[in-house]
A and B are shown apart, each in its own frame.
Chain A
Amino acid sequence: MEPIRKHQGLVYPLNRANIDTDQIIPKQFLKRISRKGFGQFVFYNWRFDSKGKLREDFSLNQPKYDGASILVAGENFGCGSSREHAPWALEDYGFRVIIAPSFADIFFNNCTKNGILPVKLPEDKVQTLIDNAEADTYHLTVDLESKKVFDNQGFETTFDIDDYKREMLLNGWDEIAVTLNYENHIATFEANQT
């Protein structure tokens, strides 16, 4: 996967809690057998009406968010189905960082395996970012090395992420290759099973 160290980008605010993966990528698009090309379907039922026309009342369709690469949303982002198509769709659409007060476990994990950096920030900080991005064109920098999020107007905060996931993202490692270095341990474990 693509390593991610320091990312600067336009912020798209989605002020909703409990956004489930059925919303991020509806099931009718899960039948493809490759990892690519899901971006066009992201938030499909919110972005398009039943005739497949863009819905102007959905914020992501506003020109001011064209090219956004940082998504900021409400708590429990990515709950529900384990479908990795959700991070694939977000990544393919152009998002590299997602900021929220909390994430569903499986989704969080899936992001880190696809070069998307999920950042947990306290609710009031997230709200500030959402307000800023709703008011105006708003850019943020997210630095995984120093674990900082900041803008050029004086906002700065740090975030936590476990070291292992951080290493993976920073280096864009193939986790299977990493695990295969532990082949001895796995073989020993298997040999000890009765």
Chain B
Amino acid sequence: MRKPKTIIEKIWDRHMVHQEEGKPDLMYIDLHLVHEVTSPQAFEGLRINNRKVRRPDLTFATMDHNVPTIHRNVIKDEVSKTQMETLKDNCEEFDVPLADIHHPDQGIVHVIGPELGLTQPGKTIVCGDSHTSTHGAFGALAFGIGTSEVEHVLATQTVWQAKPKTMNVKVNGTLGTGVTAKDLILAIIGKFGVKFGTGHIIEYTGEAIRNLPMEGRMTICNMSIEAGARAGLISPDDTTVEFLRGKRYVPEGEAFERAAEDWKSLATDDGAIYDEVLEINADEIEPQVSWGTNPSMCIPVSANVPTIDDAKDDNERNDIERALEYMGLEGGEPISSVEIEHVFIGSCTNSRLADLRKASSIIKGQKVHPNVRAMVVPGSHSVKTAAEEEGIDQIFKDAGFEWRAAGCSMCLAMNDDVVPEGERCASTSNRNFEGRQGTGARTHLVSPEMAAAAAIKGHFVDVRHLSVPTPS
């Protein structure tokens, strides 16, 4: 009998261009996604060396990181404008398809890939962005690369990659009502730390993962990089296939059925061996809120913020002390008592239509707390239009949310959407690093539902016990 293989090994073997003793493997790349911030120096490198883009047909560019989310016709920030124009010029010169700021396909690169069906099971996908791991939700091998590698892929359609180790993160049981994929991935990182995945590709398995819709799977895989993993993925199944059916870049008719069979055959074989296995029980997970300055610093919404006395050693003591100071927290207070001034619903972690639907179901008929400025930034132009067709935008606007155009926005605050120094934001994004949402800004990572609840109450609340007074 054939040796059982993981999906990781299957995809790896299919993409091996060349293997040689003493070198990493030379891997072929099926899809290269490009954005304005990490590409200019790569295109410049090609120009200097008189090189071409080898496969413009396997390359797709968009603008997301620094695009404004209002007043898009006149870009005030000159430096951002140059960066966007540079991408446009580069794409024209090198023949790369581009969804620019006014294009209907524009959006966060990790939202539009799946939406257009560019992302498919079994593909190798790279992008000059660490959250490329998102595409792993489809059973693709997707990882972030630096700008030198962007240039390398543009020129050769390959990367040199040492075969990473494999890890199975098995999520048993089922998630409770009101507990989301975001809570699950935060709980995983909270339990195992920000570097448990280093040097590994994680496959998420188990009942709770199988039960997640594609949006939830994307949220999980998205944050694999926050665990230090090279990539994260989930074996394709019927959920994957049905999501992709009818998408623009997938095959049609007979060809689609054949592709679907092939995709499903990539799923990890029974009995395949991983280098490492971790398990967690979904039943025990509560809605999470991060309290500190990296994503492992998160706690259940019912818990208290840790104090330095909770530290296991001196290093952890220092980390907690620094984080509490930066976050302006005492330590020991219930996280639910922490008041916020901003709410950001968006980012490649949680800005898809399903996320906005869930958040809006909580917001419906409510008002944003008077101390809070709340904002929704859809992940793509098409998410925005679809939400508007359903009237979701109106629910948010009626409650007092700002409704913006698509982009990364306040996830990394490269545009004007910035949290002011010392202020606090409940954010559906993936990083609570110091200064991420603005110099001195304090980020608390939560699910869209928890962000919506916090917007109404002005502090964190367990969305499962949310009781809102009927407006008089």
Residues of A participating in the B interface, judged by any CB pair closer than 8 Å: 16-18, 20, 22-23, 26-28, 30-35, 45, 50, 74-76, 79-84, 87, 102, 104-106, 109-110, 113-114, 162-164, 174-176, 179-180, 182, 185-186, 189-190
Contact = CB atoms under 8 A, between A and B. Distances in A.
B147 interface: yes
Contact of A50 (B40, B412, B440): B440
Interface stretch (B18-26, B92-100, B104-112, B212-220): B18-26
Interface residues of B, number: 64
A164 B319 contact: no
Contact of A31 (B37, B155, B194, B315): B37
A151 to B, nearest CB: 24
Contacts of A31: 37, 66, 77, 79-80, 82-83, 414
Contact of B17 (A28, A34, A104, A182): A182
B89 to A, nearest CB: 10
A23 to B, nearest CB: 6
Contacts of B199: 105
B388 to A, nearest CB: 29
Interface of B: 17-18, 22-24, 26, 28, 37-38, 40-41, 44-45, 49, 51, 54, 65-66, 77, 79-80, 82-83, 86, 128-130, 144-149, 151-152, 155-158, 160, 162, 194-195, 198-199, 225, 228, 230, 294, 315, 318-319, 322, 412-414, 421, 431, 433-436, 439-440
A81 B86 CA distance: 22
Contacts of B79: 31-32
A75 B195 CA distance: 9
8 tightest Cβ-Cβ pairs between the two chains A and B: A33-B40, A84-B146, A110-B146, A113-B148, A82-B144, A84-B147, A31-B79, A82-B130
Majority secondary structure, A binding face: loop
Given A109-B145, A189-B28, 12 more contacts: A18-B294, A26-B439, A27-B414, A34-B44, A82-B128, A104-B195, A105-B198, A106-B144, A174-B49, A179-B26, A182-B17, A186-B158
A87 to B, nearest CB: 8
A186 B414 contact: no
